[in-house]
Amino acid sequence: MTESHAIELIDVRVWKNRRLILDVPSLKLPTHETFSVIGPNGAGKTTLLRIISLLDRPGEGQVLHAGQRISSGRETLRRRRRLAMVMQQPALRNSSVWENVLTGHRFRHTPKDIASRKVGEWLERLGISHLSDRNARRLSGGEAQRVNMARGLVLEPDLLLLDEPFNGLDQPTRLALMDDLWRILQEIRTSTVLVTHDRGEAQALSSSVAVMLDGKVEQIGDPDQVFTAPRTEEIASFVGVENVLAAKVIESNNGLTTASVGEGLVSLAGEYPTGEDLVLGISPEAVVIEDPSDLGATTSVRNRIPGSVSRLFEMGAQARVVVECGFPLVSLVPGSSVVDLRLSPGAQVVASFKASAVHVIRSGR
């Protein structure tokens, strides 16, 4: 018997107050990999995780764990004890860190010496051995989240479910924890489901990602594909492909298409029938801002469109620039470019991006 899927959902539907909040006809999660579920708040991510964790039953449909149906209550408890779910809020017990991490093994009646050894090992792996005797209610947010994770990892489960584990942490703490989690997941190779609303977390930690919108899984694929080639405008706007443009094909040959967008022209890869309507997506990261004096320089970049800066937000090391070049185009540039190019509202610039950076979200009349 092969266990090719850690989890399989078949025709799962969940209603809340007569509203369908989860509708998943089919979803298969791979074993020994990290699978991310991303979506905005209220998209049904946590509901999905609770169904997978067997904490809630779906109103309709089946959830298979390692190919098996779970029917009786006793079976549910046994299966629940082979997975671990780490919830968004740490909800730690009012006792020592050690006792908190030991909790799951207490539920399972693990022999004391084995449990102690594992608790010691996982405190070490998460870098919180020194907190062992501290009261868990007196920890910082980052420390508490590490204890929260240790509590799940110490069970060495078949399936690890993480619900927004980095929520509410400040940036350095978050990055450090993400780094450690990534390393640990690489080492243990446990089938993991990570629920997040953050694209960066999904990209950094998982090998495949599902985008959930409004209770439905809208797209599944490897993170790079999903984030650069979203299937619909809704997914595009959620995953941060901010430039979603309506275009009309003017001409198309030799694998290259020219389309009109607003009052400007855009070149893109691929051939489409003349006159066809397209919806184009361009990631802000793919759009580079240049000085107009560079316009003469030769380059392989197809799209070099002169325009003027209409808005500018500086956000730490990066700046978000909106260039009006016949249509509004959002660009994410390094903060240093703001100084180097003397960017300010009204400044004349050239927005450039490769034809291959233009992704066709939808085509048709």
Residue in 152, 165, 281, 284 binding other proteins, rule: CB under 8 A: 152
**Alpha helices for 154-277 (secondary structure H):** 171-188, 199-205, 223-228, 233-239
The answer to whether residue 167 forms part of the interface with other proteins (CB under 8 A) is no
DSSP structure class, residue 100: H
The answer to whether residue 114 forms part of the interface with other proteins (CB under 8 A) is no
**Alpha helices for 196-232 (secondary structure H):** 199-205, 223-228
Residue in 60, 107, 273, 345 binding other proteins, rule: CB under 8 A: 107
- CB-based contacts of 184, cutoff 8 Å, min separation 6: 125, 126, 153
Contact 79, 65 (CB under 8 A): yes
Cα separation, 186 vs 205, whole angstroms: 9
Instruction: Mark residues 10-49: x for contact with other proteins by CB under 8 A, - for none.
Output: ----------------------------------------
**Per-residue b or e along 281-291, where b marks 16 or more CB atoms closer than 10 Å to that residue's CB:** bbbbbbbbbbe
Stretch in the footprint of other proteins (CB under 8 A) among 114-122, 150-158, 240-248, 326-334: 150-158
Residue in 48, 123, 144, 155 binding other proteins, rule: CB under 8 A: 155
Q: Whose structure tokens read 């802000």?
A: 284
Transcribe 142-162 into DSSP letters. Answer: HHHHHHHHHHHHTT--SEEEE
Give the shortest CB-80-to-other proteins separation in angstroms: 6
Cα separation, 149 vs 40, whole angstroms: 23
Give the shortest CB-348-to-other proteins separation in angstroms: 54
Cα separation, 42 vs 293, whole angstroms: 48
**SS3 at position 328:** strand
- CB-based contacts of 176, cutoff 8 Å, min separation 6: 142
Q: Which of residues 55-74 bind other proteins (CB under 8 A)?
A: 55
The answer to whether residue 137 forms part of the interface with other proteins (CB under 8 A) is no
Give the shortest CB-33-to-other proteins separation in angstroms: 21
Give the shortest CB-29-to-other proteins separation in angstroms: 18
User: Between 93 and 197, whose beta carbon lies closer to other proteins?
Assistant: 93
Helix, strand, coil percentages for the chain (3-state, nearest 5): 30, 40, 30
The answer to whether residue 104 forms part of the interface with other proteins (CB under 8 A) is yes
**Alpha helices for 197-287 (secondary structure H):** 199-205, 223-228, 233-239
The answer to whether residue 81 forms part of the interface with other proteins (CB under 8 A) is yes
Contact 87, 42 (CB under 8 A): no
Instruction: Mark residues 265-304: x for contact with other proteins by CB under 8 A, - for none.
Output: ----------------------------------------
The answer to whether residue 363 forms part of the interface with other proteins (CB under 8 A) is no
Q: Which of residues 189-248 bind other proteins (CB under 8 A)?
A: none
The answer to whether residue 119 forms part of the interface with other proteins (CB under 8 A) is no
Q: Whose structure tokens read 């997914």?
A: 235
Give the shortest CB-341-to-other proteins separation in angstroms: 49
The answer to whether residue 177 forms part of the interface with other proteins (CB under 8 A) is no
User: Between 75 and 271, whose beta carbon lies closer to other proteins?
Assistant: 75
The answer to whether residue 115 forms part of the interface with other proteins (CB under 8 A) is no
DSSP structure class, residue 176: H
Give the shortest CB-192-to-other proteins separation in angstroms: 15
Stretch in the footprint of other proteins (CB under 8 A) among 62-70, 103-111, 207-215, 308-316: 103-111
* Token pair of 11 as six digits: 């025709």
The residues of the shown chain that bind other proteins, judged by CB under 8 A, are 53, 55, 77, 80-81, 84-87, 89-91, 93-94, 103-104, 107-108, 135, 151-152, 155, 161
